[in-house]
Each structure stands twice: as C-alpha cells, then as structure tokens.
Amino acid sequence: MSNKKATLTLDGKTYEFDILDGSVGPSVIDIRSLYAKTGMFTYDPGFTSTAACDSTITYIDGDAGELLYRGYPIDQLAEDSHYLEVCYLLLYGELPSAKVLKDFELRVTNHTMIHEQMHNLYSGFRRDAHPMAIVCGVVGAMAAFYHDSTDVNDPIQREIASIRMIAKLPTIVSTAYKYSIGQPFVFPRNDLDYASNFLHMCFSVPTEDYKVDPVIARAMDKIFTLHADHEQNASTSTVRLSGSSDANPFACIAAGVACLWGPAHGGANEAALNMLKEIGTVDRIPEYVARAKDKSDPFRLMGFGHRVYKSYDPRAKVMQQSAKEVLELMGVENNPTLQVAKELEKIALEDPYFVERRLYPNVDFYSGIILEAIGFPTSMFTAIFALSRTVGWIAQWKEMIGDPQKKIGRPRQLYAGAVARDYIDIKNR
C-alpha cells in the first residue's frame, strides 16, 4: 500500500480512501468501504476504470504495447520458449529447470486421453454444430467424469483438474473437428510434443502415416503461447466470477469458453477471416472501411481495436511474422486473403478514423490467416483460441481460489426501473 490517499467530497463531507500501488502499472483507489461510508456505489459498466482483483500473472501496458507473462515479454517467450513451458510459468510463477519441466510435460502427456464414454457425447450433436458449442458442452461435462477433481477446497484436486484440462483440451477440440468432418477420432500420442500432437489428432487419418511439419508445429505452438493469458479480459473475468461461487473447475472453464465465443472477444479471429473473405479483393477495401466508420452501420473491422492496447498488439507483431513463414512454406504467400489483410492493415494504420481512435490490428487479425493456411476451417479458430487460453483461465482461477481475501463476486447497480407500486388486478387493467 502507498501512503497516498484519495479524498472524495460529497454533500460537504470528505472521505479518505487508501491508494494501493502495484509493482508496475496504474495504482488503484481502494473503494471497498465506499458504500459503507457514503451509501453510494461507483458506476463503471464495461469496467473501463475498474480493477476487479490484484494479480501476479500477466501485465499489459496498452500504451506501450507491452505484454508480460510473470514478467517475461511475450515476444521473447514466443521466440525462445514453448507452450508447455509457458503453461508451467503461468501456473507456478517461475521458469522451470530442465528436470522440473520434463516432469511437468510427462504429467500433461499422461492425461491427454479423454474418458472413453466422453466420445459418446459427440454423437449427441449435429455434425454441423459449431465446434465451440461442442467444446463448451464437453468441457462442462468433464465434471460428470472426473469427480475426484471437483472439490475446489482441496489443493490436490485443484492441481489434478488443472493438469487434466490443459492435457485434454487438444483432444476435446480435435475430436470436435474430426466429428464435424465425419472422420474417425484420433487418439493422442505420447511421443509427440503438445502442438504436434494436436495437429496429428486433427489431420491424421488411419489410412496413411501423418508427418507433422516442424514449421507448422512451431507456428501452432506460437499461436498457443500468444493466446495463453491476457490479464482480466472478458472470458477470464467470467472464469473468476464463476469460481468465486466455488463452482467446480470444469464448470468455470466451460463458462470461459462460452464467453470467449463472442465475436467481440475470441470469436473475432473467425469473424476477421470471414470479413477478409467477404471483402475478397483489395479494390473492395474502401467500401468496407467506409462502413466501419459509419455509425449507422453496425459493421466493425474485425481483428482491429482493443479495449487495452491503444498501440500495436505485441502478439499481432509476432503473429504477422509467423503468418509470413507459414504462407511461404505452404506456397500461398500470394494468398488473396493475405493480400487483402496486408492492404487493409496499411490503410487502417494511415486512416485518421483509426489513427485517432488508436485502432490497430489485434491478435485475432493474423491468427486466422495462419490457421486457415494450416488447413483449419474458420469455425475451428475460436476453439483453438479456447484451447490456448485454458491455461490462463486456470492460472487466474487458481490465484482467485487461493486468495485468503476471496469473496463471492456480487456487483451492484444503478436502478432506473419502477419504484414500489401495488399490484393491479387484471379486471382493472
């Protein structure tokens, strides 16, 4: 806590509130006693000026375009680390030694299969169900299979549930993909790394050997790392709020999957690629840019803008380089979708409307291009985002559950409805 105070004067009375400093970034005014002292609430729909918790996991500086996982810059982690090491870092706070990392990777590897009866869940869905509908349902259903890791007050059960979800999400997501294309489900393999295993479960078929291309596997692993966590975004806040009621971990992560699905959030990668395809050719970009500026038109440039980043999303920079590598490998660097993406980005970075509002390409702008080049349908993009973000949701959930000051989240409101009035019998209405 700093020794600085904030004072508020209301109806001639002055109230003092502590100012709390973090290790870096904005300080906060501790208003927990505000209602008791003043009988008033703060008002902040969308939480644009509200810190809902304190955390030691991820730090974002939106003006500087900085993103740190436990203090390590995202571009260094994307370049020098790999996803399971980043998972360990997010969960436990420090980079592991080689031995500790190997043990962690083995624990994850030994949990990648899903309960055999979980395969039956998939046949209950239509083949053309959106993969996110399936993933949301199957993740929630994990509580019906793994009863020995649902007690949130038991740290050992919390740990097992965490490992299970990190290990099984690639299997759950790839199985949803196989189900949607009518191909047989593929079991995970213990001899493959995390990203290669996911690609293998998505793209291998029983009729021939499948060799994972290391460049594609590396790009996939980078996508996982870049999406792993992002401070108190909408889906993470959903997980925290769900967890504050002591709901079981699988239910909390399923709630995060549901929130991420929205096109304003994780659904933007699917929406961005669909938008680029709808634009189709470079000469049609001005028409769409005009629509994005038109207040009477609900159309927005998907993959642009961010609540926090008011400069370039550092993840988009890494993703742009990765997109170039993958498209060159796939021999589609002249991909029309990428041409439209590059021209759209150029225009948006020069157009006063976007410059004044500091609307830059975000993580979703390029991830969709890579995923399409790898061979995923757009409907799979957000499910892959959910797979990547599971570790971030779990790390934040564990931090919240382990907080001795934990309270159930219960926001209040500014009530603008009818004041008390008596019931009117229907014959008098």
Q: How far is the CB of 158 from ligand SDX (least distance, A)?
A: 23
Residues 199-238 vs ligand SDX: string with x where CB under 6 A?
-------------------------------x--x-----
Say whether 111 is catalytic.
no
Residues 338-357 vs ligand SDX: string with x where CB under 6 A?
-------------------x
- Pick the closer one to ligand SDX by CB: 104 or 397: 397
One of 91, 132, 173, 359 touching ligand SDX (CB under 6 A): 359
One of 37, 115, 218, 265 touching ligand SDX (CB under 6 A): 265
Q: Say if CB 267 and CB 261 are below 8 A apart.
A: yes
Instruction: Note whether 292 binds ligand SDX by CB under 6 A.
Output: yes
Instruction: Note whether 370 binds ligand SDX by CB under 6 A.
Output: no
Instruction: Note whether 381 binds ligand SDX by CB under 6 A.
Output: no
One of 172, 220, 241, 268 touching ligand SDX (CB under 6 A): 268
For 45, the token pair is 């729909």
User: With CB under 6 A, what is the number of residues at the site for ligand SDX?
Assistant: 21
Q: Indicate the burial class of 115 (C-beta count within 10 angstroms; 0-12, 13-18, 19 or more).
A: middle
Say whether 209 is catalytic.
no
Q: Which of 364, 403, 422, 425 is catalytic?
A: 364
- Pick the closer one to ligand SDX by CB: 112 or 236: 236
Q: How far is the CB of 68 from ligand SDX (least distance, A)?
A: 14
Instruction: Note whether 364 binds ligand SDX by CB under 6 A.
Output: yes
Instruction: Note whether 256 binds ligand SDX by CB under 6 A.
Output: no
User: Which range in 136-144, 201-209, 306-314, 370-378 contacts ligand SDX by CB under 6 A?
Assistant: 306-314
Instruction: Note whether 301 binds ligand SDX by CB under 6 A.
Output: yes
Return residues touching ligand SDX (CB under 6 A).
230, 233, 264-266, 268, 292, 300-308, 357, 359, 362-364
Give catalytic residue positions: 306, 364
